[in-house]
Structure 1
């Protein structure tokens, strides 16, 4: 006798409202850390314009702002810098592992994920659920401080060079360039990289930030949340784009080639890397800032980038009328970093040295919420149940 037919009971997946693809425009929680207003071409960290901060403040200022709630005074900043300095130093377990991680190959972010997992194990990082706010903040501070040191050390070790220790007298931007080269960078390069780092600390609920918050909502430790964020960040549709945007500029080579190149990409079904954004419907303010920065640095690459940008935007407007496709942050990020002497394989790691500050701020904020993030999915497979053969 055949088994009786059982009608499925309504579940969250059959009664919940449908969300738009990619959760576009869906509000999933509240945050005091900042916001992106895409229609206006504006974003901010707490109550301050992020672009204004990038023009006038350091990474440490913004780090303090996001993690401690206000911009530091001169005295508070000095104390914060003194607090951060020893946390930049690699523990012996990581120093010993550098040759193995470097020899394993892969991207610098892959090495960083492994190194941070080792750091968490070596230093006994505990779940945020079990920690006081002060202990969580201490773990976040350690992770943010050590990430640039790990990335720079991995880069140099892979190149057959000894790591360069961080310096207590340099800010985050200058220290990053110092640890990569062992040479003090020109002030113009430090200023340009500093602007880029401050402008990329945070940017709403992007894929990696949301990933960090999902993991933090489970009560996992800070390191686990950051490692998960790094996995999302490594994708070429997210943090892994600056080198591809610069590659595209190299393929175009001359402004007169720009329109034809755009049509070739679209005809082949490929993305035009460096243009368009999931949120902005007007100019990306980070791109505007970095275009200005690139022109201040000067050089043929910046001039080519500006000329090509105009032609690409015009070609996209012709090919996709009604859609506002402008240069995004990745387009000029590659130009600025290349002009400052950074190799393409360092573009995404440079981005990560700033974004980790934003990830950790979100982890700390999420840790205050006792609810786990647990959305539903709408099932679209074969009807169930059927008898098992």
Structure 2
């Protein structure tokens, strides 16, 4: 009889939870309606519930998102970085190696310093143990590319110099040294792992080995199977403008959080990649490209401005989100979007997806402003990345978050090195429950009544 009761209890658990959810949701909604504006220490109840968006609570020294200038790297805007960082060639794109140097030192490198770092990374790429590839191959080929990448990084963790140094008793104020070694190894080897996964899934496992003569971004393209010089240039630009985006981004914050427990860079970066795979973070690029593809399919290449305006207006009125437009902080068009837009104008202005995006870049913000749908309706970088990748033949949208992860390693791991250099403590914010919020709000209300 007891066994039968236990079985019934297990069966009823989902239904029991389902019955509780409506009341809990209404409870939370009531708190937001009636108590959302009540002040805590430096923020409100609504800020707390909304994920602390915009609350200044992290030390992140390498980049800052400025509403008027976009992302700043060590104080340099994207246009300033393009002007001052070493370039692939005269008139070419800046090298990601230069951004890595900038993040780690706070100053832009000379061309010889960037070349030296490029050679260092090229040497490290050769040191991936064979068992890491065996680990990838043990997974089903249908596994998501990010699942395969994270598994590979965890296999690489066995090579961590940081973990060995900590286990041997290295003083905490010296742990930045093995953190730097792990980070440089991981940054160097990620393109190889990502390319191996891409070709395992989409090219029947025909691997292309790295070319030590190529720089970081060009070598990534080469190993993926793309040797168009224009794609080399695009990937250099992509890596530079996507190398970091403040510490509050999910992937960056996850790296910081896990690393604050003195987890080695492999463990910390894996956490960031799991966050990057989330639909609200790393999948934004593919959602934007899917939307543009749908517009092109439904309206055709020769759609007029009026047809596009009507289409966008109908979608917004139906509650559809237009991915790639709007930004929580930026008050202008994302400078990263502008860089890529100008690149497309120069290299392939007649690409049908780019032609459509160019029209939408004018139409969507105007319609959004008319309807008051978004405060800052300007195009962001997610709107154009898929268009660029598609033009060069990188069509597999489930691989887009992996490419983003390769780029983001440059920033998040650079900051992790400095977290260890500064001996920053474990991250441990305080949390509260719904009972605490309700009691706090009631005390506030009672106090206000007594003062009347």
Same fold (TM over 0.5): yes
Is the 1:212–1:363 Cα contact (8 Å) retained in structure 2? yes
Instruction: Tell which has more relative contact order, 1 or 2 (C-alpha 8 A, sep 6+).
Output: 1
User: 1:244-255 maps to which residues of 2 (within 5 A)?
Assistant: 244-253=287-296, 254=299, 255=303
The one of 262, 269, 288 equivalent to 2:312 is: 262
Larger radius of gyration: 2
Structure 2 match to 1:289 = 339
The one of 234, 242, 245 equivalent to 1:200 is: 242
User: 1:107-118 maps to which residues of 2 (within 5 A)?
Assistant: 107-118=144-155
The one of 56, 61, 71 equivalent to 1:43 is: 71
In structure 1, distance between residues paired with 2:41 and 2:261? 22
Structure 2 match to 1:3 = none
In structure 1, distance between residues paired with 2:280 and 2:391? 23
SS of the counterpart of 2:51? helix
Structure 2 match to 1:91 = 129
* TM score, norm. by length of structure 1: 0.87
Seen in structure 2, the aligned counterparts of structure 1 residues 128 and 355 have a Cα distance that, compared at 3 Å, is farther
CA RMSD of aligned residues (A): 2.4
Residue segments in structure 2 that go unaligned for 5+ positions in a row: 1-38, 88-93, 440-452
In structure 2, distance between residues paired with 1:336 and 1:233? 20
1:177-215 deviations in Å (ceiling 9; x for gaps): 10011x522x22221221121111011122211111111
SS of the counterpart of 1:48? coil
The one of 91, 95, 112 equivalent to 1:75 is: 112
Question: Structure 1 residue 176 and structure 2 residue 220: aligned?
Answer: yes
Is the 2:118–2:216 Cα contact (8 Å) retained in structure 1? no
SS of the counterpart of 1:22? coil
In structure 2, distance between residues paired with 1:361 and 1:44? 15
Structure 2 match to 1:374 = 428
Structure 1 match to 2:180 = 137
Is the 1:317–1:325 Cα contact (8 Å) retained in structure 2? yes
Is the 1:125–1:223 Cα contact (8 Å) retained in structure 2? no
Is the 2:133–2:152 Cα contact (8 Å) retained in structure 1? no
In structure 2, distance between residues paired with 1:68 and 1:345? 34
* TM score, norm. by length of structure 2: 0.75
More displaced stretch, 20-29 vs 283-292: 20-29
Residue segments in structure 1 that go unaligned for 5+ positions in a row: 1-13, 385-389
User: 1:154-193 maps to which residues of 2 (within 5 A)?
Assistant: 154-159=197-202, 160-181=204-225, 184-185=227-228, 187-193=229-235
The one of 340, 350, 361 equivalent to 2:414 is: 361
Query: Would you say how many aligned residue pairs link Structure 1 and Structure 2?
Result: 367
Is the 1:274–1:329 Cα contact (8 Å) retained in structure 2? yes
SS of the counterpart of 1:362? helix
